[in-house]
Amino acid sequence: MRTEARVVVIGGGVVGCSVLYHLTKLGWRDVVLLERDELTSGSTWHAAGGMHTINSDPNVAKLQDYTIRLYKEIEAISGQSCGIHLTGGIMLAGTPERLDFLKTTHARGRLLGLESEFIALDEVKRRHPLIETRHFLGALFDPNEGHIDPSGVTQAYAKAARQAGAEVNRFTPVTELHPQAGGGWLVVTPGGSIAAEIVVNAAGLWAREVGRLVGLELPVLAMEHHYLVTDDLPEVALRDEELPHAIDFEAEIYTRQEGKGLLVGTYEKACVPWSPRTTPADFGHELLPPDLDRIAPSLELAFAHFPAVERAGIKRVINGPFTFAPDGNPLVGPVPGLRNFYLACGVMAGFSQGGGVGLTLANWIVEGDPGMDVFAMDIARFGDFATRAYTNAKVRENYSRRFSITFPNEELPAARPQTTTAVYDRLKAKGAVFGASFGLEHALWFAPAETAAHEVPTFRRSNAHGPVGEECRAVRAGVGILEIANYGKYEVTGSRAEAWLDWLLAGRLPPQGRVGLAPMLRHQGKLMGDLTVARLGAERFMIVGSGVAERFHRRWFEDHLPDRGVAVRPIASERVGFALAGPRSRELLARLTDEDLSGAAFRFFDIRQIDVVTVPALVARVSFTGELGFEIYVDAAYQLALYEALVEAGQDLGLAHFGGRALNSLRLEKSFGAWLREYTPDYTPFQAGLGRFIDFDKGDFVGRDAALRLREEAPSHRLVTLVVDAADADAYGDEPVLADGRLVGFTTSGGYGHMVERSIALAYLEPAFATAEAGLAVTILGDDRPARLAPAPLYDPTGARMRS
Ligand SMILES: Cc1cc2nc3c(=O)[nH]c(=O)nc-3n(C[C@H](O)[C@H](O)[C@H](O)COP(=O)(O)OP(=O)(O)OC[C@H]3O[C@@H](n4cnc5c(N)ncnc54)[C@H](O)[C@@H]3O)c2cc1C
């Protein structure tokens, strides 16, 4: 065994072997994999080997497509068969909602270049005669689905990596990990130690245990999972062609041909976690006792929908554990706060996702960047709120809903409320319907008195549509109050704070007492953040950004900190507050302070420490609504006093509570983009319309050279605003945009503009169509809805109201 390596990958399941292979593919040969037993000794060996492209996140879906296409490559390189059966797969819809879901899936697939197609039920019967089609309304067929041999795939990755110079050591458990002064790790095994620059935790079922070696408690939990294999069926044996895969969402089963019988697996509602605290060290090539009673409800439906299964005997029942993160997507990337320690774990669909995870992580390690927006699987999407009990509740929710529809307006209830602010009960009493973001409860909208504070999950406009409209109109006509606890906030201090921020952010830093918009770039010149920065003192700044990206941005700040002279402190939970927005917001705030708030004295983008009643507050004259407005930040302990004062003083002004849904509608009317929707690491600032905030004259900054090059390139897409002729469903994001039937772009968000009374979508279009006069359409729930460009924001295009 080598004693030194650039990278040590811990775990020889499908994921660890894929990471190893991809590192060698990028040219790193001094890489070692350590496996405590034989390769495949965790979840990998007993997997059903199914693979598909479906995922709610488009980039994860893209990586799943990559994974499936990779098998031929590793088979050719290694000479090891992967047992590829590319049978295609049928997704069956038994309800109108499921049909809507499949239409959305199909439309998103089109954006990614996937080749799914709707097929008629008689075609379903022709391709898969064992399906009782009278239970279904429609079906989507995806040719890029099938199954592989789990062991063959893992061995093929390992062989291909070895051929390129990697070392694979079996029967070599990692027992200790020690950080070294230079930033590397000493990796200890019973057979000796390796000094590694970088460690990757790909320990699958034991990811938690490997995490604990370095003091981490990872949000991962294993669940028991059953599938059964039937005896041979004459209907199958007599066929020349292999049956396609099928997913029957209503029965919550997936099925495929295995030999001359069927393999049927289920994600049952009454699911059971396995080893919730600790994975036994001696667990290996064994299975768990089956519990057919638990999966009986699904099997009964399976018998009705696939009658041949009921007639067949059961040859084998498999019950094995595999791991999930709280939202079901993998945990990948550098762990915030730890140097040179990466994750590739929590991969619940290793045969659909393993290749994409390996590619992403190898890029991250070798290039310092994952290569695209992979927030949906980035470990940084979880914070301290993701405790073991939270993970347990969320994973069970996720598993039991594996084949349920999660509607775009749906907020799932498990492990909530987790984090709340002091005004949670007050807002609840006002009828707030809450969502959770980064663990924190925040008001989405307010149900009027006498109506239920509940939003019905739907693809169409929901029961919130009317009340949200009232909130929007109240803000535009008078004044509204919005809690703004759910933003990411950081205090940056120190003698070198100014110089450091000037280098880290691409915009010009504001002078003292002012707020500035500050795009932050990746080294490749694309977006890393759309932040606001406020200069509060000679050596003191506050940065505000997206709440869900709190860890994501913090990791970036910490990775770029100099040795001394700058301190970054996350203050999201200690500094909370409210936004006041609307033409009467100044009048309201003026009642509570002796400060001069006139337009001349307190200008647009000014920020100042003032007293609001008795409360010391940091007040900025900004608003994401496009109205005159103020953001008032206070220490959490003052929040209740501030709230009560604002509400009391606002009574006769008709102060309205508004929530995140109204804010979304108001910002769409202003064509304001949002992080993770219009602004993500996939886009350049020039595509996103943020180029004007970049100051190329100020000297060097992160991403400058790359951004200069990008500025000269013709962009593939440009961000535009569309007005959509929608029916009862608005765009949401990731819908195709067509020009005379041809795909020319995609939406990033959408919704109804209640003040302008139009359905709005923000979208990236090919430049030739970003000025199209006519012929555009947005595909919403399978319908191509006519759309036209809005050359300027639909509401207050000159911005006069927010400057008033
Ligand atoms: C019944 C069942 C059916 C499934 N069906 C499918 C399917 O159809 N399609 C699909 O995509 N997925 C399926 N899966 C899930 C799939 O098996 C997993 O997603 C995948 O195997 C995860 O691989 P991994 O490499 O992350 O983890 P693992 O396979 O658990 O591998 C981790 C490896 O790390 C090693 N290790 C742990 N600790 C150490 C240490 N300290 N030192 C050295 N080595 C260590 C272990 O021995 C193990 O070999 C199924 C799973 C089950 C249980």
In the reported structure, the alpha carbon of residue 346 is separated from the centroid of ligand 1 by a whole-number distance in angstroms of: 9
Examine the pLDDT at 623 and tell me if it is beyond 80: yes
Residue of minimum CA distance from atom 45 in ligand 1: 11
In the reported structure, the alpha carbon of residue 40 is separated from the centroid of ligand 1 by a whole-number distance in angstroms of: 7
Mapped onto helix, strand or coil, the DSSP state of residue 645 is helix
pLDDT at 54: 85
In the reported structure, the alpha carbon of residue 294 is separated from the centroid of ligand 1 by a whole-number distance in angstroms of: 23
Condensed to tens digits (0 to 9), the pLDDT of residues 346-405 reads 999 999 999 999 999 999 999 999 999 999 999 999 999 999 999 999 999 999 999 999
As given in the structure block, the two tokens for residue 330 are: 């993998």
In the reported structure, the alpha carbon of residue 747 is separated from the centroid of ligand 1 by a whole-number distance in angstroms of: 36
Q: What is the DSSP string of 205-228?
A: GGHHHHHHTTT---S-EEEEEEEE
Residue of minimum CA distance from atom 14 in ligand 1: 47
Examine the pLDDT at 188 and tell me if it is beyond 80: yes
pLDDT at 774: 81
In the reported structure, the alpha carbon of residue 41 is separated from the centroid of ligand 1 by a whole-number distance in angstroms of: 7
As given in the structure block, the two tokens for residue 28 are: 């790193």
Mapped onto helix, strand or coil, the DSSP state of residue 516 is strand
Average pLDDT over residues 637-657: 98
- How far, in whole angstroms, is CA 634 from its chain's centroid? 30
Torsion of CA 740, 746, 751, 756, to 10 degrees: -50
* Dist. CA 46–CA 534, nearest whole Å: 55
In the reported structure, the alpha carbon of residue 42 is separated from the centroid of ligand 1 by a whole-number distance in angstroms of: 4
Test site for ligand 1: of 44, 255, 275, 283, most ligand atoms within 8 A of the Cβ: 44
Q: Is the peptide bond between 417 and the residue preceding it cis, with omega within 30 degrees of 0?
A: yes
Mapped onto helix, strand or coil, the DSSP state of residue 553 is helix
Condensed to tens digits (0 to 9), the pLDDT of residues 604-613 reads 999 999 999 9
pLDDT at 284: 80
Question: Which region, left, alpha or beta, applies to residue 511 given φ > 0 means left and ψ of -120 to 50 means alpha?
Answer: beta
Confidence of residue 620 (pLDDT cuts 50, 70, 90): very high
Question: Which of 557, 549, 571, 208 lies closest to 381, judged by CA?
Answer: 549
Average pLDDT over residues 84-109: 95
User: Taking the model in full, what pTM does it have?
Assistant: 0.97
In the reported structure, the alpha carbon of residue 349 is separated from the centroid of ligand 1 by a whole-number distance in angstroms of: 9
In the reported structure, the alpha carbon of residue 735 is separated from the centroid of ligand 1 by a whole-number distance in angstroms of: 34
Say if residues 513 and 538 touch (Cβ distance below 8 Å): no
Examine the pLDDT at 772 and tell me if it is beyond 80: no
Residue of minimum CA distance from atom 41 in ligand 1: 174
Pocket lined around ligand 1, Cβ cut-off 6 Å: 10-16, 34-37, 41-44, 46-51, 173-174, 202-206, 210, 225, 227, 318, 320-322, 345, 347-352
Say if residues 118 and 138 touch (Cβ distance below 8 Å): yes
Test site for ligand 1: of 43, 228, 264, most ligand atoms within 8 A of the Cβ: 43
* Dist. CA 250–CA 190, nearest whole Å: 50
Half-sphere exposure of 794 (CA within 13 A, CB side): 25
Question: Which of 767, 788, 231, 764 lies closest to 527, judged by CA?
Answer: 764
* Dist. CA 141–CA 132, nearest whole Å: 16
Residue of minimum CA distance from atom 27 in ligand 1: 204
Q: What is the mean pLDDT of the chain?
A: 96
In the reported structure, the alpha carbon of residue 516 is separated from the centroid of ligand 1 by a whole-number distance in angstroms of: 47
Condensed to tens digits (0 to 9), the pLDDT of residues 424-455 reads 999 999 999 999 999 999 999 999 998 999 99
Condensed to tens digits (0 to 9), the pLDDT of residues 290-340 reads 999 999 998 999 999 999 998 899 999 999 999 999 999 999 999 999 999
Examine the pLDDT at 773 and tell me if it is beyond 80: no
Condensed to tens digits (0 to 9), the pLDDT of residues 505-536 reads 999 999 999 999 999 999 999 999 999 999 99
* Dist. CA 621–CA 628, nearest whole Å: 8
* Dist. CA 278–CA 179, nearest whole Å: 23
Pairing of strands 331-334, 341-345: antiparallel
Say if residues 619 and 789 touch (Cβ distance below 8 Å): no
pLDDT at 441: 98
Examine the pLDDT at 804 and tell me if it is beyond 80: yes
Q: What are phi and psi of 468, to 5 degrees?
A: -65, -40
**Number of residues written out for the chain:** 804
Average pLDDT over residues 203-218: 98
Which atom of ligand 1 approaches the CA of 345 most closely?
26
Mapped onto helix, strand or coil, the DSSP state of residue 744 is strand
Test site for ligand 1: of 37, 154, 174, 322, most ligand atoms within 8 A of the Cβ: 322
